[in-house]
Amino acid sequence: MASPQKDQYIELAVGAEICAIPIEEIHEIIKMLSITDIPFSRSEVKGVVNLRGKVVCVLSLRHMLGMPDEPYTRESRIIVVRYREEFVGLIVDKVIKVTSYGELHPVSASLGRLREGVFQGIGQQGEQLVGILKLEELLGG
């Protein structure tokens, strides 16, 4: 069952996939910074950055969604979100736009366990369908 939505989202690209994050979950979006490696960390952890005196852990959203990492480009960004009283950076290939969706659909069980767990819904704008990321599952998993 579709429900009308007025919430705003940041649409982003990770590889060929278009996803979105609710705007209220985003602290800020920054250009790529120099990332300091953390030895012996999990593979999705790219390191930490110094964001105005705060140390922020940076993760690869590509890796978290099961895609191979690619070299960063001029369009690569770090989306800083607040998770459990900490700031966490998510590296994305491109930030597309701020948008809202006419309809928000539930995630179908046919997408499989991985996809079902990381998406809280599917936004629809005309014919385009966009997965809305569920940060609690993505970061807590």
Q: What is the pLDDT along the chain (141 residues), one digit of tens a residue?
A: 454 447 899 999 999 899 999 999 999 999 999 999 999 988 899 999 999 999 999 999 999 988 998 999 999 999 999 988 899 999 999 999 999 988 888 887 655 444 557 888 999 877 888 999 999 888 885
Domains of the chain: 3-140 (2.40.50.180)
Average pLDDT value for the chain: 87
d(C-alpha 116, C-alpha 46), whole Å: 25
* Buried/exposed code over 115-141 (b: 16+ C-beta within 10 A; e: otherwise): ebebbbbbbbeeeeebbbbbbeebbee
Q: If residue 71 lies in a helix (H) or strand (E), which one and from where to where?
A: none
pLDDT given for residue 114 in this prediction: 47
Q: Token match 């985003």: residue?
A: 26
